[in-house]
Homo-oligomer: A and B are copies of this chain.
């Protein structure tokens, strides 16, 4: 049984303890890394000993917000905290040994499995960064510093696509405004995170846009990414951050599907984005995957063309 803590109770909990290790999730994004980097920095400013467990999947885009936080190999913490992690399945391999021993989970996913002794969960928040903000502003005598503001801005803005995605709320915008006042360098951050694309990314997106296929009166768009395309364009994981959103962004499209070849031609990842009345989770569950109504995924051991065939059969029943 996990005990649910409010932001205020979490602030008290943190104040009363010391020696923390923070865990970020697999395939770490700006929210888990920005949140961990911000909480580490803030608690250090408050006099605590805090580190983040090394995550081998950290990409260059976000490393600067977390590099100074990484735990030395011999660090033995008194308390282990997860940030932006809904279940232990999302732990990186090197964090698995802590799975039964998480003191505090800070999260914003409604699907949280309550795996920690204490859980500070607010599913009204668009990003875990906003939950961290709620906690930090409950700690007396602590004022958000420019470094913390920058990292929290990274968390908020990347999880909402620069305030563009459907999860953005008035709270997201309010907190973002306060973070800018606290010193988050919004011009530089927006330019780096949202207004700069690598040439490789531009090339890959050009290929994908040219190759988009439409079905069922334009209601379905399918984009296929082969390993050859990734090799030709030299696209990196950072370049592909937002690629699953492309087919669904075309006017009139209700179901946007991306099929990506992973390690071999018979190892593919499907990403589905859907708008009502269609259900991405329903589609992916037919392929052994799952997720939310608006976004879901699956891993399938078939070729791109075979998957497309199977998908069209499944979709035919829905249209």
Q: Give residues in A with beta carbon < 8 Å to B.
A: 162-166, 168-174, 176-178, 180-181, 186-187, 190-191, 194-199, 202-203, 205-206, 209-210, 212, 214, 218, 245, 249-252
Q: Which residue of B lies closest to A174 (CB)?
A: B177
**Closest CB in chain B relative to A45 CB, distance in Å:** 22
Please report the C-alpha to C-alpha distance between residue A120 and residue B245 in the assembled complex, in whole angstroms: 41
| Residues A190 and B165 in contact, CB atoms below 8 Å apart | yes
Please report the C-alpha to C-alpha distance between residue A212 and residue B201 in the assembled complex, in whole angstroms: 13
A and B contact pairs by CB, cutoff 8 A, 30 listed: A162-B162, A163-B163, A163-B173, A163-B176, A163-B190, A164-B190, A164-B195, A168-B186, A168-B190, A169-B186, A170-B177, A170-B181, A170-B186, A171-B177, A172-B177, A173-B177, A173-B180, A177-B177, A195-B245, A195-B249, A196-B249, A197-B249, A198-B251, A199-B250, A199-B251, A203-B209, A206-B206, A206-B210, A209-B209, A210-B210
Please report the C-alpha to C-alpha distance between residue A216 and residue B190 in the assembled complex, in whole angstroms: 25
**Closest CB in chain B relative to A273 CB, distance in Å:** 10
Known A-B contacts: A169-B186, A173-B176, A205-B206. Give 19 more (CB < 8 A): A163-B163, A164-B164, A164-B195, A165-B195, A166-B191, A168-B186, A168-B187, A170-B177, A170-B181, A172-B177, A173-B177, A174-B177, A196-B250, A202-B209, A202-B212, A202-B250, A206-B209, A206-B210, A209-B209
Contacts of A203 in B (CB 8 A): 209-210
Contacts of A250 in B (CB 8 A): 196-199, 202
Q: Which residue of B lies closest to A247 (CB)?
A: B202
**Closest CB in chain B relative to A294 CB, distance in Å:** 11
**Closest CB in chain B relative to A127 CB, distance in Å:** 14
Q: Which 7 A/B pairs are nearest by Cβ-Cβ distance?
A: A173-B177, A170-B180, A206-B209, A174-B177, A170-B177, A198-B251, A206-B210
**Closest CB in chain B relative to A92 CB, distance in Å:** 28
Contacts of A205 in B (CB 8 A): 206, 209
Please report the C-alpha to C-alpha distance between residue A170 and residue B250 in the assembled complex, in whole angstroms: 31
Please report the C-alpha to C-alpha distance between residue A47 and residue B242 in the assembled complex, in whole angstroms: 47
Contacts of A173 in B (CB 8 A): 163, 173-174, 176-177, 180
Contacts of A206 in B (CB 8 A): 205-206, 209-210
Please report the C-alpha to C-alpha distance between residue A198 and residue B253 in the assembled complex, in whole angstroms: 10
Of B170, B178, B198, B199, which one neighbours A170 at CB under 8 angstroms? B178
Contacts of A202 in B (CB 8 A): 209, 212, 250
Contacts of A169 in B (CB 8 A): 180, 186
Q: Which residue of B lies closest to A173 (CB)?
A: B177
**Closest CB in chain B relative to A133 CB, distance in Å:** 14
Contacts of A164 in B (CB 8 A): 162, 164, 190, 194-195
